Amino acid sequence: MLDEFSLIKSIEPKEQRHQELIKGIGDDAAIYSTENNFEQIVCMDTMVEGVHFTKATMTPYHIGWKALAANISDIAAMGGYPDYYLVSLAMPAEWSGDIKEMYRGMEDLSALYQMDLIGGDTTSTKNGLVVTITAVGHTDKRRHYLRSSAKPGDQVFITGYLGESAAGLALLQKEIDIKDQYARRQLIESHQKPMPQVEAARLLGKIPCRYAVNDISDGLASEANEIAEASGVTITINYQSLPVSKPLMFLEPSDRKQFMLSGGEDYQLLITAPEENSEELIEIFQQHHINLTKIGIVTEGCAEVYLIDEDNKTLLKKSGYNHFNSNEE
Amino acid sequence: MLDEFSLIKSIEPKEQRHQELIKGIGDDAAIYSTENNFEQIVCMDTMVEGVHFTKATMTPYHIGWKALAANISDIAAMGGYPDYYLVSLAMPAEWSGDIKEMYRGMEDLSALYQMDLIGGDTTSTKNGLVVTITAVGHTDKRRHYLRSSAKPGDQVFITGYLGESAAGLALLQKEIDIKDQYARRQLIESHQKPMPQVEAARLLGKIPCRYAVNDISDGLASEANEIAEASGVTITINYQSLPVSKPLMFLEPSDRKQFMLSGGEDYQLLITAPEENSEELIEIFQQHHINLTKIGIVTEGCAEVYLIDEDNKTLLKKSGYNHFNSNEE
């Protein structure tokens, strides 16, 4: 298996050449100043057939939607608003009839944000579709949110609900079963048509304070560890505080816990904010009918994440919680 | 086989949403204004193992170099200077030991332009390496060059020499042979370490006039047709005017002609400019020791490209000149 984390470390540039570069590698997207009142944001995300999706669980429309959603989510996690995107496809011949549907999925999502598709590349390949998207966005000057901004005393928040996308995938793969048709539909929709949290990210800007933000693309355990590492702090999450969506109530508690802690592709935002701003923050999210839940705290300590579940406090590793080998954890 | 041209047409957005978008799909890269004295340029280019390269003819270092060169060349073809790049790899396990060398190839080229690597993505795949790069650059406000700017009366120029990269590949694949070791080395270097023409593009800016520019990534025939189509003009190229590099003198005339007209990946610039600026243009390129050769003219007419070779005038199609089936042309 590839170790992406050590690879990123090994390719990280030794020097920064542009003074106007605010953040390059090491966060969800890159930001650079353009000498006006905005900062430009650029990110890039790849989905590979057989690794990130298969035709068995995703239609071409959904693949297009989700590939773009992952990029918009990265822009949102920087506090930005998405403006443009570019699409590169390495495409096997058998996919050529599906490409329009894939672009339709991207178009429908991009229309919600008035994004322009501004370029890309299309090449053939013998094996497996590879979809790479670059998104470009902007944020008001100095209103970007880095992973490295968390400080002891901060509170930890999550938007929306976690685990729905992973549960939807498990349903599609018949690893779990839920009889309730409404719950089934919602979970599968969460997996196939996830919504990036652009509005939530912009709402943070209404209360100008210090935020660390990560989007939940690889699961809460992984994302919380990334903030803890980048900020050099300890994060403690209270499992009982995590909001549970109605469809997840139908699951076995152990399945639910695994999906909520380790399930990826929810594209919710994990946020840390100073305690003195917390009340106002919760209030403004309530006013705009966007769920925001306090789930933990930031303290001094090693770059670690702890999970409190009733009376148990355990280390929550980047690899996450897996009930199949929870004895080993 | 995929038809990229009709695909691009089919996915082209029906509306342009940002007023500040100057050029989206349909040129080498996208440009948008950022309300200051510069325009930002973004482009994206993909190389696929087994389609664009194999380990038999390219080392990982060369693959990295060329993948970035293709993107920088697109920035140059818009009149821009490259600033940043992002890299996405879909990587089979057997490539993991080669990745550092690939990034070293990119780093060495990017250092020539003081570019910053600012992001990307790395995913695994079962089959065939896919390298996608996004480059971001800038140009002075309203100093960009579009394919659609050619007008009747313009003259047509080319930087450097054509056909070297294709000849280098043919040498590596033992389809041709050249005894002269210096010539061999130069052609193979042209294939493995092509140089994008950033300086040439910037030099055009010294004489502010109307330019249409395309970079030679898919061969002269293809690129000239793209300018003819985008501008709605006829381009006539005189084969005898094309500059012939010394190493290409060693080839059979029919091979040489095919490589020069249809060989891709030279990353030279094809330029049209008003006749009244031509003399000054040639002068300034001479002063800077960059080869610039007049190879043809632009006239009113259908969007077509003609080739004059001694007394013969033939239609030069996008697919280019192929001496193996020249009877059919």
Indicate whether B137 pLDDT > 50.
yes
Residue of B nearest to A37 (CA): B35
State the Cα–Cα distance between residues B144 and B137, nearest whole angstrom: 11
Dihedral (CA of A118, B8, B211, B281) sign:
positive
Pick the residue of B6, B37, B130, B138 with the most A CBs within 10 A to test the interface with A by mutation. Answer: B130
B248 phi and psi angles, rounded to 5 deg: -70, -15
- Decide if B41 contacts B29 (C-beta within 8 A): yes
- A positions 127-156 inside 8 Å of B (CB): 127-128, 130, 132, 134, 136
Taking each helix axis from N to C end, the angle separating A60-77 and A99-112, rounded to the nearest 10 degrees, works out to 40
**Domain span including residue B266:** 147-325
A40 phi and psi angles, rounded to 5 deg: -85, 140
* Structure token digits, residue B82: 């490259």
What CATH code is carried by the domain that includes residue B92?
3.30.1330.10
Choosing from A140, A171, A205, the residue where a domain stops is: A140
- Model pLDDT for residues B223-281, shown as the tens digit of each residue: 999 999 999 999 999 999 999 999 999 999 999 999 999 999 999 999 999 999 999 99
Q: Are residues B284 and B305 in the same domain?
A: yes
Q: If pLDDT is split at 50, 70 and 90, which confidence band does B121 have? A: confident
State the Cα–Cα distance between residues A211 and A151, nearest whole angstrom: 9
| Chain B contact set for A107 (CB, 8 A) | 13
Q: What Rg, from alpha-carbon coordinates, does chain B have? A: 19
CB contact under 8 A, A100 and B11: yes
CA dihedral B7, B11, B14, B16 (to 10 degrees): -120
Q: Are residues B318 and B207 in the same domain?
A: yes
- Decide if B188 contacts B176 (C-beta within 8 A): no
Q: What is the pLDDT of residue B127?
A: 83
Distance between B125 CA and the closest CA of chain A, angstroms: 7
Residue of B nearest to A28 (CA): B119
- Provide the pairing of β-strand A116-124 with A155-159: unpaired
| Chain B contact set for A131 (CB, 8 A) | none
Q: What is the pLDDT of residue B142?
A: 75
Q: Are residues A81 and A224 in the same domain?
A: no
State the Cα–Cα distance between residues B35 and A31, nearest whole angstrom: 17
Q: Are residues B119 and B198 in the same domain?
A: no
Q: Are residues A129 and A157 in the same domain?
A: no
- Model pLDDT for residues A6-54, shown as the tens digit of each residue: 555 555 556 665 565 555 555 555 555 576 767 888 999 999 999 999 9
Q: Are residues A80 and A183 in the same domain?
A: no
What CATH code is carried by the domain that includes residue A234?
3.90.650.10
Distance of CA A183 to the CA centre of its chain: 22
Q: Which of A16, A29, A83 sits opposite B18 (nearest CB)?
A: A83
Q: Are residues B97 and B188 in the same domain?
A: no
Indicate whether B51 pLDDT > 60.
yes
**Any chain B CB within 8 A of the CB of A103?**
yes
Distance between B107 CA and the closest CA of chain A, angstroms: 9
- Model pLDDT for residues A142-164, shown as the tens digit of each residue: 778 989 999 999 999 999 999 99
Q: Are residues A116 and A234 in the same domain?
A: no
Choosing from B140, B172, B207, the residue where a domain stops is: B140
Q: Are residues B204 and B129 in the same domain?
A: no
What are the distances in angstroms from CA A304 to CA A224, A301, B17?
A: 9, 8, 44
Choosing from B140, B174, B204, the residue where a domain stops is: B140
How much is the ipTM here?
0.88
State the Cα–Cα distance between residues B49 and B54, nearest whole angstrom: 6
Domain count along chain A = 2
User: Residue type at B251?
Assistant: L
- How many Cα atoms occupy the beta-carbon half-sphere of B170 within 13 Å? 20
- A positions 6-45 inside 8 Å of B (CB): 7-8, 10-11, 13, 16-18, 21, 24-25, 29-30, 32, 34-38, 40, 42-45
Q: Are residues B219 and B80 in the same domain?
A: no
pLDDT top residue among A209 and A33: A209
The predicted model gives B148-167 an average pLDDT of 97
- Decide if B195 contacts B69 (C-beta within 8 A): yes
Q: Is residue A28 part of a domain?
A: yes
